[in-house]
Structure 1
Amino acid sequence: MVVIVVGLALAAIVEQVVMPPPARHPVAERRRVHATPTRTRRPVSARPSPSRIPVSPATQLSRKVEKVVLAERSPVVRRNYGVDTLKAPIVRLSRMDRRDSWAFGTETIPPPSDMTVMPESSVFLAQMTQTGWEVALAGTPAFAALLKKAPATVVPDAERPVLAKFSTAADTPLDTGLMLPWGIGQSWSLLASDKGVSGFDGGDGRVLAAGDGRIYRLCSSTPGHGLVLLIHPNGLASEYYQLSDVTRVRDGSLVKRGDYLGRTGTEQPCGGGEAPQRMVRFALSDANGPMRLDRLQIGGWTLRETAAATFAERAGVRVDADNPLLNFGAMPTPAPSGSPSPSGTPSVRVPNVPLPGGSPDARL
């Protein structure tokens, strides 16, 4: 028995020496020693989606202006551009009050990329309400209503009368009281352009204000380029496009007749095709849009726009496109010889629609 017990004991000792117990897995050991708290992953539904990211009041306003412009202006603009669809309007925010509850700015509908025409543009007012931004375009009763109660930080008192006049559709005098948009006594070439627009170029290329008015720059994010809108005290607006080196005066500033606005150029940053040559595209408009220049008196000339040609007349002298036109300044156009002198300046409503090919004027 003693031999058997001693033999079993020796066998146990040999087993421990020759076959040690299995070691612990080093990776498992490290996980237990250096374990870190399990990070709770946020449910996918709790992550903010793009639609839930807060949108700034300015961005909300721009989107609302785009919708309002396309809803109210697209029928007329599509007809003027001769297209079925329009690009999204370019919205330029000029001023917003500290509470982000009132805003004033400009909007421009870009022309098609294969056209060289004057962009359709205007100004707007907006007020934040409980249901969102209320946007009103110039020329509408809503604009007139907002203009009366807009704070001075958004519409300064000095600008209010001219914006009110601009927004009111009224008869336009044939004698506009404006000069041609370059230096008095200089001759520039009258260039063929699109309907309702005259192109001019010449001299040093300096484009000047055709009359006193409040200036607003539209649509271009490129400094020194773009479209200039000058609203005059009588509510008429002159527009200057394809400018370079545009004046840096603040929007809404008062400029005087003959003040520098920019230089003739070729860039069309508000849309449209490549300009065929250097010029300033000059047009007249009211809050309803661009106006025909036919029979309007500017710079001592009567501008004519027929289905066949654009030209200027003065005392029986006719200047056709591509010929020099002398700027007489803001002065009445002399009546043709043998015509009675009118006792007053007649007023007419000049329609802001394209000249149809079958118009009676086509016979002139």
Structure 2
Amino acid sequence: MAGLAAAALLGATTGVLAGAAPAMAEPVRGVAVEPALASAVSGRLLADQGEQIAATYDAPGFRPAAGDVLVEGKRASRDRNWVFGGSVVRMPGTAHGSPVSALFVGHRVDGRWRVELEGGTGFAALVRSAPAEVVPDDEREALASTAAPAAEEAGLGMALPWKRGQSWGSAGVHGDSGSSRPYNSIDFSGGDSRVLAARAGKLYRFCTNARWHLIKLVHDNGWTTGYYHTRNQTDKRDGAQVAAGEFLGQTGNELPCGGRSSGAHVHFTLWKGNRAVAVNGRTIGGWTFYEGSRPYSGYAERNGRRINLPGGGIVNYGADNDDNTPSATVRNKGGTVNLRSGPGVSYDVVGTVRDGDVVRIACTARGDELTGPWGNKNDVWDRLTTGNWISDAFVDTGTNEPVAPACG
């Protein structure tokens, strides 16, 4: 795969370089992508996401190649040396899922294309240096944040993708193509069929040669959510700001990027930067979702109530930061802090958070006393909304006393 990544720099085969575009020129929209750039983008996508594509497109005999990648230009500079667009690997008709996609920026220098995909530091750099006619100022930071998404412990700040207070059903937790790993997807259906944005973000479309498209939202925390199979979609253009709870489309069986579908629903996917992330243990719309031993199973839990999946009765309670759950900032003088499976250093390390990360505290318990970065001693341990534990000695809550109820 490393060889394909290197293919992101390819010589241009067509076109004569024009003069520099004037400042704030009107962008060239819906641009045709020249073969050299398309080759660079498809090569980079297959290289960077090859493992995820192989897992997602779980179809016998399917081996993705450049011809399976759809590359669409969204905006270009007048001299055509800068292009912003989207790329997606079309799904075979036997696969039930959501396609792997990525936004890209291409910059041609001395006849050679440099291509970077969303989620990488190179993408952030090109996004910030591209002309405003290609990447408008109000999109730069959201796109660049995909290279440094917020810590998972900070909570997603997402509602479920339908009207708050309304009850829908779910076919269960699964992968992008059902059995593929990680289980980063949930199918939802029911209610009034209106699919809404789980969190505010910038809207981008893929497979736009179809009537209805794959919609992706890039959120201000660097995470992205996908909405596949929808119909009767919003008419907002690429890069438009979408508010939390804003209408995106209606549940359906649309297949603009291929695949298969049965029963009107929205295939909701979760990505952190350029990585598919399991929904297991994550709180969305007030419910914490857990995967089962097989795809299309699992359960949702809230305040001790459990709904087994597939099942109905899932009420959207809004984003997980809509309640009074206290939040606090991790402090360790630029370092990291271990997360553990219980309130003490004898418990397993299950992850880390960085200095400056914001975490949400579900409840507290007494445990091992640790000394924090200011010489402060504290035996309080905070159980985060993700289920992991952190010593309160390394969390700035404004007090040495517990700020959340005792864990039951």
TM-score (norm 2): 0.66
CA distance 1:345–1:318, change in 2 (3 Å): closer
> Using the alignment, how far apart are the partners of 2:276 and 2:130 within structure 1?
26
Superposed CA RMSD: 2.8
Q: Say whether 1:146 aligns with 2:126.
A: yes
Alignment-derived partner of residue 264 in structure 1: 251
**Alignment partner of 1:86 out of 59, 64, 72:** 64
**Is contact 1:167-1:286 (8 Å) kept?**
no
**Paired amino acid for 1:131:** G
Alignment-derived partner of residue 90 in structure 2: 110
> Using the alignment, how far apart are the partners of 1:153 and 1:240 within structure 2?
27
**Alignment partner of 2:277 out of 283, 286, 291:** 291
Deviation for aligned residue 1:346: 6.0
Deviation for aligned residue 1:232: 1.0
**Alignment partner of 2:45 out of 61, 66, 69:** 69
CA distance 1:252–1:347, change in 2 (3 Å): farther
Gaps of 5+ in 2: 1-12, 17-30, 326-359, 366-380, 389-408
Deviation for aligned residue 1:294: 0.4
Q: Deviations over 1:112-156 (max 9, x none)?
A: 220111111121110112133211112223212212211111111
Q: Say whether 1:278 aligns with 2:258.
A: no
More strand per residue = 2
SS in 2 for 1:179: coil
**Paired amino acid for 1:300:** G
Deviation for aligned residue 1:111: 2.4
**Alignment partner of 1:185 out of 165, 173, 182:** 165
Single out whichever of 79-88 and 205-214 deviates more from structure 2: 79-88
**Paired amino acid for 1:90:** L
More helix per residue = 1
**Paired amino acid for 1:266:** N
Q: Say whether 1:136 aligns with 2:116.
A: yes
> Using the alignment, how far apart are the partners of 1:178 and 1:324 within structure 2?
19
**Paired amino acid for 1:285:** W
Alignment-derived partner of residue 218 in structure 1: 206
Corresponding residue pairs, total: 295
Alignment-derived partner of residue 319 in structure 2: 330
CA distance 1:131–1:347, change in 2 (3 Å): farther
Deviation for aligned residue 1:57: 7.0
**Is contact 1:139-1:167 (8 Å) kept?**
yes
CA distance 1:157–1:198, change in 2 (3 Å): same
> Using the alignment, how far apart are the partners of 1:213 and 1:232 within structure 2?
4
Q: Say whether 1:203 aligns with 2:203.
A: no
Alignment-derived partner of residue 239 in structure 1: 226
CA distance 1:319–1:62, change in 2 (3 Å): same
**Is contact 1:120-1:290 (8 Å) kept?**
no
Gaps of 5+ in 1: 1-51, 349-364
> Using the alignment, how far apart are the partners of 1:330 and 1:169 within structure 2?
18
Alignment-derived partner of residue 42 in structure 1: none
Deviation for aligned residue 1:77: 1.5
CA distance 1:58–1:187, change in 2 (3 Å): same
> Using the alignment, how far apart are the partners of 1:315 and 1:208 within structure 2?
24
SS in 1 for 2:138: coil
SS in 1 for 2:256: coil
Deviation for aligned residue 1:345: 5.6
Q: Deviations over 1:22-43 (max 9, x none)?
A: xxxxxxxxxxxxxxxxxxxxxx
**Is contact 2:33-2:72 (8 Å) kept?**
no
**Is contact 2:217-2:224 (8 Å) kept?**
yes
CA distance 1:131–1:212, change in 2 (3 Å): same
> Using the alignment, how far apart are the partners of 1:65 and 1:175 within structure 2?
32
Q: Say whether 1:163 aligns with 2:152.
A: no
Deviation for aligned residue 1:287: 2.5
Single out whichever of 285-294 and 64-73 deviates more from structure 2: 64-73
CA distance 1:188–1:172, change in 2 (3 Å): same
**Is contact 2:184-2:271 (8 Å) kept?**
no
> Using the alignment, how far apart are the partners of 1:313 and 1:346 within structure 2?
12
Higher Rg: 1
> Using the alignment, how far apart are the partners of 1:163 and 1:138 within structure 2?
7
Alignment-derived partner of residue 25 in structure 1: none
Alignment-derived partner of residue 98 in structure 1: 78
Deviation for aligned residue 1:73: 2.0
Single out whichever of 56-65 and 102-111 deviates more from structure 2: 56-65
> Using the alignment, how far apart are the partners of 1:173 and 1:281 within structure 2?
24
By relative contact order (CA 8 Å, sep 6+), the higher-ranking structure is 1
CA distance 1:112–1:343, change in 2 (3 Å): same
Single out whichever of 103-112 and 205-214 deviates more from structure 2: 103-112
**Is contact 1:174-1:347 (8 Å) kept?**
no
**Is contact 2:104-2:115 (8 Å) kept?**
yes
**Is contact 1:294-1:306 (8 Å) kept?**
no
Q: Deviations over 1:300-337 (max 9, x none)?
A: 100111324222100111112132210111135889x9
- Aligned-residue sequence identity (percent) comes to 33
TM-score (norm 1): 0.74
